[in-house]
Amino acid sequence: GQQVMQIPQYQHVQEGEDFTTYCNSSTTLSNIQWYKQRPGGHPVFLIQLVKSGEVKKQKRLTFQFGEAKKNSSLHITATQTTDVGTYFCAGPRGSNSGYALNFGKGTSLLVTP
Amino acid sequence: ETGVTQTPRHLVMGMTNKKSLKCEQHLGHNAMYWYKQSAKKPLELMFVYSLEERVENNSVPSRFSPECPNSSHLFLHLHTLQPEDSALYLCASSQDLGVFGNTIYFGEGSWLTVV
């Protein structure tokens, strides 16, 4: 079945440095979503990408969807301590039961002041 | 406030106990989910319900038994669990299971410890 894989698993940066996490799918995706989970919290929806080659920005966060719709990336410019958490990508399972999401294992970001 | 409420937030149970996790969503959504989150396998999809009908059982052991009495409520009944079942159990909902309605809203989770 469809799987999404994320790299790196962990990333430790100094505040002000940039950060990127990558997501790859074994199959073409109808859309891809990104979620953030703060330590001790629950995953919270960030964004959905639908179109091939789509790029969306949210302040310092830039999300990209690959041309083949099989990969995606999240880039954070000039990280801040508030960016700490685990970032998950998720893609629809595309089974007969609808489009419930499969999540990647996440990238845990630690930002040191 | 996420619109998805889970109780209890923390639960410690013995391997012979029977307990239940409860979830209620106030978002008017038609789909509800149980996810399991542990250190080894983050965010495993366990069950999916759409309009109170179970549409997916993702190879979950029978000691986990879901129940969805209506589109706003979801339960996870627990019976004779194992220590390796200790994890964070997240309830979630989405508008539907369509490709543009599947954005997930998670509850805060129920931390389960099996002793």
- Cβ–Cβ of B100/A95 closer than 8 Å? no
Confidence category of residue B2, pLDDT binned at 50, 70, 90: confident
Residue B39: its pLDDT value, please?
Answer: 81
Closest residue to B33, CB basis, from A41, A50, A100: A100
The partner residues of A37 in beta bridges, in order of sequence, read A86
Query: B3 to chain A: nearest residue by CA?
Result: A44
Residue B98: its pLDDT value, please?
Answer: 81
Let me know: does A17 contact A79? Beta carbons within 8 Å. Answer: yes
Residue B101: its pLDDT value, please?
Answer: 76
Lowest mean pLDDT among B63-72, B86-95, B98-107: B98-107
Residue B82: its pLDDT value, please?
Answer: 95
Confidence category of residue B4, pLDDT binned at 50, 70, 90: very high
Which residues of chain A have a pLDDT value below 50? none
Let me know: does A78 contact A18? Beta carbons within 8 Å. Answer: yes
Give the distance from CA A112 to its chain's centroid: 21
Exposure b/e, A83-99, CB count within 10 A at least 16 = b: bebbbbbbbbbbbebbb
Chain B residues touching A103 at Cβ < 8 A: 35, 42-43, 45
Let me know: does B51 contact B71? Beta carbons within 8 Å. Answer: yes
Sheet holding B64-70, edge to edge: B4-7, B18-25, B73-79, B64-70
In percent, the amount of chain B with pLDDT more than 70 equals 99
Residue A96: its pLDDT value, please?
Answer: 58
Chain A residues touching B97 at Cβ < 8 A: 97-100
Q: For residues B106 and B39, give the distance between their C-alpha atoms in angstroms, rounded to a whole number.
A: 18
